[in-house]
Amino acid sequence: MNSKLMQSAFSVFIKNSKDLIFVKDNNLVYRHASMPFVKMTGKKSLKEVVGHTDSEIFEDKSLAKRYTSDDIRLLNDGKDHIEYIEPITNENGNARYASTSKYILRNDKGEAIGILGITKDITREYMARQRYQQELGYLFELPKDTYAVCYIDVDDWRIISQRRQKILKGTLQECQTIEEMCEYAIESIIEEDGNASEFYSHFTAENLHDIYSSGRRVISFSYERRLSNNSTRWVKNDVNFLTDVDSGHLCIMLSAKDIHDTKTEQQKLIEAAKLDSMTMLLNHEATMDCIKLILKNEHDRQHALFMIDIDNFKDLNDTMGHRFGDEFLIELSREFKKIFRETDVIGRIGGDEFFALMRNISDKEQVEEKAKKLISAIRKTSSKYSKINLSGSVGISIYPDNGETLDDLYQKADSALYEVKGNGKNSFTFA
């Protein structure tokens, strides 16, 4: 194959590649690059990259200096650098992880004449491995509040490993098969028609694959359960879906956590009549107390705080009267209860303002889907009052990314809500 044909083939390859590819000469001047690489640098065209150095292309001078230093070391060492992991940013400036390989280009005499760099975005694989290692750690050191963990290979349909410990002299029975585990769980659950019974009654490989295919990566549910010493405690199950990094099989890490004290405290709040008398949601004080308690006892998980405000609600009261305003809020509260899970917190914190804490979230997409349902529910309820331009604005903050206290999350969600209001209302946004 002649050199012109080789150059043509390479140009076609680099033009159509989705990877970040670049070619530099011996002076570390860019001579070619793929469009994904060009966009990563913040430029719009190949002409803005070719003929320039890192210091001329990248606004972040420390980053440019690091890239140049890496290339100089590569040429000095005379050895290719293969598949090393590094953080990068995509064309929107979002943090990503990449596997980068850099090869020294040589002429017929074996002399170095430049560098070929290929960077593949491996964010999904990297985060999956990190999460896999984190979840696997439960098998070696159980948290103090966790009765047991069970690592199950869904594709092979077998229990790979399990650990358990006693809490207040009680624990869960050790089982050798998945069928035995489900049978024991169903027998031990106090509420026969609750979420827990439903889950274990339909615990099959097919159903677990369906859940995973739907995009869900974590399932959580709480229930009252009878332990090995015949005592009754509130337990929280977390089902984390994983891909085994060695076999590629779909697996789950099933953990059982003691939440009896937290649940008891929540029940005390409700029993103390801390409900909003009109909507029957938690009132302002109870909402704040419940959220603070969850952040304290479940600090190792991610949660999402929703701040919900009804746009133009005052117009409804002024035009049609407070009776219609009250009916609207009551009906809307019923819709909110349908949207959120029993384990989440929903409260009315003001006249037309609501708070909701979505517990134990798996990713931002899950929260975004919930926000869309909120906006849809507000539109549906508002349709009965067509004379008034009612809508909903939602601001969202994430724990612990946006703060580790309720005050911090409140402030960030409020700022996000203010942004939605300024952009025309009837939508949602993240802090």
pLDDT of residue 200: 95
Instruction: Report, as an integer, the average pLDDT of 87-106.
Output: 75
The pLDDT assigned to 173 comes to 83
On the question of pLDDT at 369 being above 90, the answer is: yes
Give yes or no for a cis peptide into 400 (omega within 30° of 0).
yes
**For 334-359, what is the mean pLDDT?**
93
Residue 269 shares a structural domain with residue 406: yes
Is the pLDDT assigned to residue 157 strictly greater than 80? yes
**Same domain (yes/no): 154, 78:** no
Name the average pLDDT for the chain: 88
**102/142 same-domain check:** no
Q: 97 vs 258, which has greater pLDDT?
A: 258
- Give the percent of the chain with pLDDT over 70: 92
* The two structure tokens encoding residue 125: 């694989």
Tell whether 270 and 404 lie within a shared domain: yes
Shared-domain flag, residues 247 and 301? no
Secondary structure of residue 114 in the 3-state scheme: strand
pLDDT at 342 over 60: yes
Model confidence at 168: pLDDT above 70: yes
| Mean pLDDT for the stretch of residues 118-138 | 71
Do the beta carbons of residue 144 and residue 168 sit within 8 Å? no
Q: Provide the pLDDT confidence category of residue 89 given band limits of 50, 70 and 90.
A: low
Same-domain check for residues 178 and 142:
yes
Are residue 272 and residue 220 in the same domain, yes or no? no
Band (pLDDT 50/70/90 cuts) for residue 1 is very low
Considering the domain architecture, whether residues 111 and 58 belong to the same structural domain is answered as yes
Burial of 89 (0-12, 13-18, 19+ CB in 10 A): middle
Residue 126 reports pLDDT greater than 50: yes
pLDDT for res 42 = 86
Task: Say yes or no to pLDDT of 97 above 80.
Answer: no
Q: What's phi and psi for 19, nearest 5 deg?
A: -85, 165
Per the structure, the complete domain to which residue 90 belongs is given by 3-121
- Alpha-carbon distance 282 to 355, whole Å? 9
Judged against a pLDDT cut of 70, whether residue 220 lies above it is answered with yes
Confidence of residue 139 (pLDDT cuts 50, 70, 90): low
18 and 145, same domain (yes or no): no
Q: Is pLDDT above 80 for 344?
A: yes
Say yes or no: 287 and 390 in one domain. Answer: yes
Last residue of a domain, one of 258, 291, 320: 258
Confidence of residue 130 (pLDDT cuts 50, 70, 90): low
Question: Per-residue confidence at 131, pLDDT binned at 50, 70, 90?
Answer: low
For the residues 12-40, what does the mean pLDDT come to? 90
Residue 35 has pLDDT above 60, yes or no: yes
Integer Cα distance of 383 and 390 in angstroms: 8
Q: What is the CATH number of the domain that holds 234?
A: 3.30.450.20
In this structure, are 230 and 133 located in the same domain? yes
Supply the pTM of this predicted model.
0.45
Model confidence at 362, pLDDT cuts 50, 70, 90, reads: confident
In this model, does residue 430 exceed pLDDT 90? yes
Q: How many domains does the chain have?
A: 3
Q: Which residue among 64, 87, 121 closes a domain? A: 121
Is residue 91's pLDDT more than 90? no
At 202, phi and psi to the nearest 5?
-120, 35
What secondary structure letter does DSSP report for 172?
Answer: P
The single residue listed with the structure tokens 């903050």 is 397
CATH of the domain at 411: 3.30.70.270
Q: Of 103, 121, 139, which residue sits at a domain end?
A: 121
Which phi and psi (to 5°) does residue 189 adopt?
-80, 130
Residues 98, 12 share a domain: yes
- What is the predicted pLDDT for the residue at 182? 94
Distance, in Å, from the CA atom of 219 to the CA atom of 207, rounded to the nearest integer, reads: 13
- pLDDT tens-digit readout, 256-305: 999 999 888 887 777 666 788 889 899 999 999 999 999 998 888 999 99
What is the pLDDT at residue 244? 79
- What is the DSSP secondary structure assignment for residue 45, as one 8-state letter? S
